Amino acid sequence: MIALPLSFAERMQQLLGSEYHLFEQAFQAAPPVSIRLNRTKIGSAAANLSPVPWAAAGYYLPERPLFTLDPLLHAGAYYVQEASSMFLEQAMRQATDLSQRLQVLDLCGAPGGKSTHLASLLSPDSLLVSNEVIRSRANILAENVVKWGSGNVLVTNSDPRDFSKLPSFFDVLVVDAPCSGEGMFRKDPQAIQEWSEEHVNLCAQRQQRILTDVWDALKPGGILIYSTCTWNEAENECNMAWLAGQQAAESMPLELDPAWGVTPTQLNGINGYRFYPHRLQGEGFFMAVLRKTSGEERSSGSGKKKKFKLTTAGKKEKALVENWLLEPEQFEWLQYGENISAIPAALFEAADEVYQKLYVLYAGTEVAEVKGKKLKPQHALALSRYLNKPEFAQAELELEQALRYLRKEDISLGSHGNDWVLLQYRQLPLGWAKQIGNRINNYYPKEWRIRMELPAGLENVFSVGNFLPDK
């Protein structure tokens, strides 16, 4: 039984009144399990899965699978994401024009739920900068961005204050702020141990610093989408009212379907949206949307020819790999030493500016490593939505083969040759192997490999794949 902190329980009793006993009971139930499909890889889910009502590609699962042993997760076919946080989709659809080319910052991006969600919502010629200040978490963020395969994302590892170097650059700021974690008490008992009123106040102050640091990077008329996984007003409505008072900003209301169970709030002119586990299938969550009402527009520059930091690939190098992507003319081909990558051509100048001001960990789609005339396809290419599969030899793997490949073990394809082979599971690429005669060299990234032992009876392991149609 989960025991809630006394002062937290007293505050929630005052807030919820006669509903409090239902709220308290919800903490004793198992949290719902939800995923969000990657529509560029999986078209739909089976009809017997319940949809997350505020997210077009979100679904609830009847139980929690052993996700590690599902090759489809490693192929980027879906992302395991808490349902409440998928409400980001409503904020983006209602507060922005998703048909337009947008420049979006996901400031606190790790592990990647909101970033992959944004990547699915934005147009292909929009730019998403997905940032994480902690390097180890930034690496996890980059991994999930690569698996999603969108190709228009830059992963940065920078402090929020560094974004002041990009004044009026972004149309949308998404700040899923570090918080006291009250909404995670059911999923994470450690959050209960770490909670205190002092911690709440420290989080509120830290959130104000983060918002102050990044505010100048938002264009006049731009949108801030702010969220936490907590319920106290200090970290939520009060912080939004404080920001609106400090800066020129106005609250933007969102339309709700009453059937969703989302609770609207209003405080000091701020419209907020709260998620309570006894009213809907999801964990604790808060969101508010503000519009920046004034500020300086970006200058158009001095008219001088720009000096770019990014280096474009030479014609010879580009000719070696350009057919590896669909619609290669839509991309700018970049070269770093022996590595060639691609970004949508429309994003080149904006991406270059990010490179000049911030630390970029990953960008676009890494395509190949070139050594003379020898080419090594990069892992990100296999997972890209733009991969031109007919350019490569392909091999379909059974479940156990796929998992052994993902464990970076030796596998056999039962064939001969001397070529790069695209390994697939249910027609979705997992990565590369090099066939040399009848031997296979496994090129799955070592740092991504599955470390758990494979159980007996794999065919009986409950999997998300049970609910997804073959491509």
Task: Just list the catalytic residues.
Answer: 229
* 303 membership: H or E segment, kind and range: none
Closest by Cα among 324, 344, 323 to 333: 344
The structure tokens 């190709």 sit at: 151
Helix (H, G, I), strand (E, B) or coil at 343: strand
Neighbours of 287 (CB within 10 A): 23
Query: How many CB atoms lie under 10 A from the CB of residue 220?
Result: 14
Three-state DSSP class for 144?
A: helix
Residue spans of beta strands (DSSP E) within 354-427? 360-363, 365-371, 374-377, 393-396, 417-425
Matching residue, tokens 């903490």: 27
Residues 6+ apart with CB under 8 A from 117: 36, 55, 79, 81, 86, 88, 89
Angle between the N-to-C axes of helices 237-246 and 197-214, in degrees from 0 to 180, rounded to the nearest 10: 30
Beta strands 360-363 and 270-275, pairing class: unpaired
Task: Count the Cβ atoms, other than its own, within 10 Å of residue 196.
Answer: 13
CA dihedral 21, 23, 25, 26 (to 10 degrees): 170
Which phi-psi region, left, alpha or beta, contains residue 228 (left: φ > 0; alpha: ψ -120 to 50)? beta
Whole-Å CA distances, 444 to 72, 315, 401, 414: 15, 29, 13, 19
Q: Is 63 helix (H, G, I), strand (E, B) or coil?
A: coil
Q: Is 36 in contact with 72 (CB distance < 8 Å)?
A: no
42: region left, alpha or beta (phi > 0 left; psi from -120 to 50 alpha)? beta
Rounded CA-CA distance 341/322 in Å is: 10
